[in-house]
């Protein structure tokens, strides 16, 4: 899935077309950030991206970073009217809204958690998976949780989720944002990704020890 994630519709269309030309399987299209478009503008933006390619489109709602929430009504309008708008990455942080959306969504429209601490709650409402951050180091374990959900074994899913909580806390704090925490964890796992560029910059002191503690808790030898 390639990102067509800008706050400029024309640029987003260009990115989607380029992704299609190099053989990507789908497009992730974020709510345009900073300029806070009205819902009618969001509808038109996503339609333009979807109509530019034949690939499936996953909408991405993350109001904490974009400054604008994708309304339930807008999401449903797109899901019903635009054939290749097929999914939502939901990082809206509002489980009640997610439940309302899933209750009204057309058949075949899928919701993925974009906020791992809420994944299990979203699963109870009918979400089908996660597009995550801590999945960089815990994808297999999170897959086991979703497998348990698919089997209807929410007790087992809750048990697995409990093993992931320390990683959820690690990935975001007031002093270390997820881009920094991911790079540190992946470095400990042998993936040379370097440090974040400014304005994020290097991870703060203590992050390596914190990451190592999380990874050891998941069974890694680091």
Active-site amino acid positions: 60, 89
Largest CA distance in the chain: 51
Distances (CA, A) of 89 to 31, 106, 166, 215: 11, 16, 23, 26
């Amino acid at each position: 899935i390639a990102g067509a994630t800008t706050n400029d519709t024309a640029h987003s269309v260009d990115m989607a077309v380029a992704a299609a030309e190099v053989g990507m399987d789908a497009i992730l299209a974020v709510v345009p950030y900073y300029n806070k478009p009205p819902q009618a503008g969001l509808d038109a933006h996503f339609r333009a991206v979807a109509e530019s390619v034949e690939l499936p489109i996953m909408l991405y709602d993350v109001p904490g970073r974009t400054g604008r929430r994708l309304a339930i009504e807008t999401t449903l309008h797109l899901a019903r009217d635009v054939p290749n708008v097929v999914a939502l990455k939901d990082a809206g942080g509002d489980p009640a809204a997610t439940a309302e959306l899933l209750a009204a969504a057309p058949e075949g429209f899928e919701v993925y958690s974009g906020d791992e601490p809420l994944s299990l709650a979203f699963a109870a409402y009918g979400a089908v998976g996660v597009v995550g951050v801590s999945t960089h180091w815990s994808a297999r374990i999170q897959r086991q949780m979703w497998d348990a959900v698919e089997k209807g074994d929410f007790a087992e899913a809750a048990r697995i989720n409990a093993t992931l909580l320390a990683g959820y806390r690690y990935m975001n704090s007031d002093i270390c944002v997820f881009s920094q925490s991911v790079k540190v964890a992946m470095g400990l796992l042998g993936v040379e990704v370097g440090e974040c560029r400014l304005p994020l910059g290097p991870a703060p002191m203590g992050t390596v020890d914190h990451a190592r503690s999380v990874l050891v808790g998941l069974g890694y030898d680091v």
